[in-house]
Amino acid sequence: MFGPLFPELLAAAQGGDEQAFAALWRDLQPAVLRYFRVAAGEAAEDLAADTWVSVIRSLGRFRGDERAFRSWVFTVARHRAIDWRRQAARRPTISVPVEQLAERPAPDDPVAAVFEAQSTRAALALLAELPTDQAEVVALRVLGGLEIAEVARIVGKRPGAVRVLAHRGLRRLASRLEAAGLVRGVTR
């Protein structure tokens, strides 16, 4: 977040200043990429790049503060994620049911990795195992740093519904991690 610097940076980027745009990009790209790692797995890098293409093309018309900018970028990102899911559903070879995704062998056991190394990728892999609507809301709230009202606007749900989805998602993760933790604690 840039705070008071943001308006000047945005204006410069809108005027074509490459470095100002790079600053905005570096600030938001990690969050956007992580959102896609949860929402679209292996397609994350490409979808993040596509998102920036859209953002760049409409940048000149954007008006608003830093929160609004963030919210807008994630609105664009979510559209990309939805398009991707739709296309994936039309291509049977690529479409993998969520249940199977969870069963796929990961390079490392995500639970163990989160416990041992605080690995970001492992944490995102666990978030991705949540049901889509819960994963989406948790990702926007936690990774996007957006507030409930902003997430509600982006996903087209009421704030109360967003809160419930986020809580459900977190409880599910908590139980999974605690269960794993108990097992690990008992195992000698």
Partner 1 sequence: MSDEDALGADMHRLLGSLEAGTSAGDQDTLERLLDGPLDPGSVPPGYGGLARLLAAATAPAAPDELAGQQRALAEFTAVMRSTPPTLSPRRTVVPRKVFTIKAAAAALVAVLSVGGIAAAATGHLPGQASPVAGQAAATTAADAAAQGLGKAAAANVGGTAQAGATDAQGRESAVGPDATGAARAGLCQAWQSGQGDDHGRRMDSVAFQALATAAGGAGNIAGYCKDVTAGDHGQGKASPPSVSAPPTSASRPGNGPPANPGPPAGTGPGGHGQGGPPTTSG
Helix (H, G, I), strand (E, B) or coil at 156: coil
Member of 28, 47, 76, 130 binding partner 1 (CB under 8 A): 28
* First-to-final CA distance of the chain: 45
Distance CA 155, CA 147 (A): 12
For residue 2, the minimal CB distance to partner 1 (Å) is: 7
Q: Does 18 bind partner 1 (CB under 8 A)?
A: yes
Q: Please state the separation of Cα 86 from the chain's center in Å.
A: 18
CB 126 within 8 A of CB 101: no
The size of the chain, in residues, is: 188
Q: Does 68 bind partner 1 (CB under 8 A)?
A: no
Residues within the interface to partner 1 (CB under 8 A): 1-2, 5, 8-9, 11-12, 14-23, 25-31, 33-34, 45, 48-49, 52-53, 56-57, 60-61, 114-115, 118-120, 122-124, 126-127, 138, 141-145, 149, 158-161, 163-164, 166-168, 170-171, 173-174, 177-178, 180-181
